Structure 1
Amino acid sequence: MEMKASSGGGRGGTGLGGVQLDDIPSRGFIARLAPAIAAELIDGAPSVYYPPGSIIFSPGNGTTAALVVSGLLRYYMAGSDGRELTIRYVGPGDLVGTLITERSDLNTRAQALQPSVVLHLDVDRAQALAQRRPELSQAFIDELVSRLRFAFRALAASAFMPVRVRVARDLLERAKMSGPLVAGLHLAVTQQSLADATGSVREVVARALRELRREGAVATADDGITVLDPDLLSRQAAV
C-alpha cells in the first residue's frame, strides 16, 4: 500500500494519500458491500495516520465517519468519574463514527491502540449514495444493529459479571483482532488499559490477572500478556 504524506491531517493525525479499495482487507463493514459500491463510497476520502493513543472521534466532532484501513481502534464510553468502558474493538475494514446527524448525549470516543490509518468519509456524500444504493443503506442498518449488540453485551457484562470474567472477555476480543486464538499468542496490553476497557481500576484488574495466571489461562510480564490455554480462557470468559 503506497501512502504519501500530504499537508493537513486534521484531528491530531497525519494526512496520507494513495489508499485504494484493494488496500482495505475484505472484512467487517467493507465486506458487506459490492466492490463497485465500496469504491464509490471511499472515492476521494482523505486517509489519515494516527499514532497509538490518538483520539480519533469524540463528542465534539459532530457527525463524522471513517473506514479503518490498518491498525486497531477501540470504541469506548467515558464516565464523569473518569472510568471508561470499551464497547468494541475495530480493525481493518470496519466502520467507525456515524452518519446520523441527531446529536447524542453519550460520551463515546474512538481511540487508536496501534498505529492506525483511517479513511475519513464525506458524510453528505455517503448519505446521498445510500439513498441511491439500497445495498449501502442495508449495510449501514446492519452495522447499527451490530453495534447495539456489542453495546448491550458490554453494558450487561459491566453490570452483572465479575471483573475476572470481564478481563477474560476483553483479552479474547483483543486476541481475535490479532489473529487466530492459539496458545502462545502475546498481547501487548497493560493492567491500566484492561482497567480502562472493563470499567474497573488497575488494582482490581491485577487481582483478576493473578487468578487467571494461577489457573494457567495466561502468563503475565512487563511487556504484556500471553495466552497459555485458549479453551480455559474462553471458559473463564463465559463464552
Structure 2
Amino acid sequence: MTHWHLSSIDWLDSLPDAARQQLHLQTATLDFRDGQTIFAPMPEPDAVFILVQGLVRIYRLSSEGTEFTLGYVKPAEVFGELAAYDSQPRESFARAIDNCIVLKVPVLLFRDLMQTLPSLCYSVTKQIQGRFKRIERRAEDLVFRSVTARLAATLLMLMEDFGDDRGGHSYIRLHLTQAEFATLVGAARPTINQTFHQFRTAGLAIFEKGHVVILNPAGLRKIAESPLIPPTN
C-alpha cells in the first residue's frame, strides 16, 4: 500500500506514526470495477473497509430477494465497521457503483487501534452516528410519508452528498437506474417512474438516462417536509 492512501484521509493521516506503520504493513489496497461486490453477508467478518476513491452502495436482500439500499459510502468513509464492535454475522452487501480503491483492514487490527486511540474511535463513531441517523430518518419516512415525499427527500439527500452546482441547477453525480431509486425509496419501479414524471412536469427535477438534475430544491423540500401520514389502528 502506498503512503498517499493514508495521507489522503484526514482521520487516518492524523494517527500516531506507530499506528500508521501498523496500517501500512497490514492493510491491503484493493481495486474494484463498477458493479463488483466488495463484500457479502458472512458469519464471521474478518475485515473493515475504508473507501479511498469511488462510491459504494450498501444494501440488503429481503427473504423474497428484493434489494433495499441502506445508503452510499463516500471517499474517506469507513464501512463494514460493525465487525470491529462485535462478532455478529455481517448481513449487508457492499457493491462498487464506480471504479473504486478500497483499503481492507484486518478486523483485529482495527479493533485494537480503536481501543487504544480515542481519536480514531471518535472519528469512526461519528461516521456511524451520521449513518444511523439517516437510516432512522428513512425508516420513519417509509412508515409515515408518501412515495412522493420519500423520493423528494432522497433527491435532497443525494444532492447534499453528491450534487454539483452547474448554472444554478444541481447535478447528482451518481448514475442510478429507476430500479435503484426504487430500492432507496421503498417503492415499485413504475411508481418511481410516475413520480419522476410529476417532478419534471412541476419543474422540480429531471431524471434522464440515469442522471438527475435538481431544478427546484425548495419545492422538493416542501414536498419532503409535508405532514406525516397518521398511523392507522
| Same fold flag (TM > 0.5) | yes
Name which of 65, 70, 75 aligns with 1:82: 65
Deviation by residue 1:68-91 (Cα, 9 ceiling, x = unmatched): 101111222321123232222211
Residue aligning to 1:139:
123
- Is residue 100 from structure 1 mapped to residue 80 from structure 2 by the alignment? no
Deviation at 1:231, TM superposition (A): 2.3
When the two chains are superposed, the root-mean-square deviation of aligned CA atoms in Å is 2.6
Deviation at 1:180, TM superposition (A): 4.5
SS at match of 1:200: coil
Residue aligning to 1:91:
74
- Is residue 230 from structure 1 mapped to residue 213 from structure 2 by the alignment? no
Deviation at 1:184, TM superposition (A): 4.5
| Contiguous gaps of at least 5 residues in structure 1 | 1-16
Q: Distance in 1 between matches of 2:170 and 2:101?
A: 28
Residue aligning to 2:34:
52
Residue aligning to 1:5:
none
| Contact 2:54–2:101 (8 Å) recurs in 1 | yes
| Contact 1:166–1:237 (8 Å) recurs in 2 | yes
Deviation at 1:186, TM superposition (A): 4.7
Deviation at 1:115, TM superposition (A): 1.3
- Report percent identity of matched pairs: 23
- Is residue 36 from structure 1 mapped to residue 16 from structure 2 by the alignment? yes
SS at match of 1:86: strand
Residue aligning to 2:230:
none
Deviation at 1:58, TM superposition (A): 1.8
**Quick one: structure 1 residues 42 and 164, their matched pair in 2 at CA, closer, same or farther if it must change by over 3 Å?**
farther
Residue aligning to 2:155:
171
Q: Distance in 1 between matches of 2:94 and 2:189?
A: 21
SS at match of 2:187: coil
| Contact 2:58–2:92 (8 Å) recurs in 1 | yes
Q: Distance in 2 between matches of 1:117 and 1:211?
A: 38
Q: Distance in 1 between matches of 2:151 and 2:183?
A: 11
SS at match of 2:16: helix
**Quick one: structure 1 residues 111 and 237, their matched pair in 2 at CA, closer, same or farther if it must change by over 3 Å?**
farther
Name which of 104, 110, 133 aligns with 2:94: 110
| Contact 2:48–2:110 (8 Å) recurs in 1 | no
SS at match of 1:205: helix
- Is residue 207 from structure 1 mapped to residue 188 from structure 2 by the alignment? no
Q: Distance in 2 between matches of 1:55 and 1:136?
A: 27
Q: Which aligned pairs between 1:52-71 and structure 2 lie closer than 5 A?
A: 52-60=34-42, 62-63=44-45, 64-71=47-54
Q: Distance in 2 between matches of 1:139 and 1:164?
A: 35
Name which of 163, 171, 183 aligns with 2:169: 183
| Contact 2:34–2:96 (8 Å) recurs in 1 | yes
| Contiguous gaps of at least 5 residues in structure 2 | 227-233
TM-score, structure 2 as length reference = 0.80
**Quick one: structure 1 residues 230 and 53, their matched pair in 2 at CA, closer, same or farther if it must change by over 3 Å?**
same
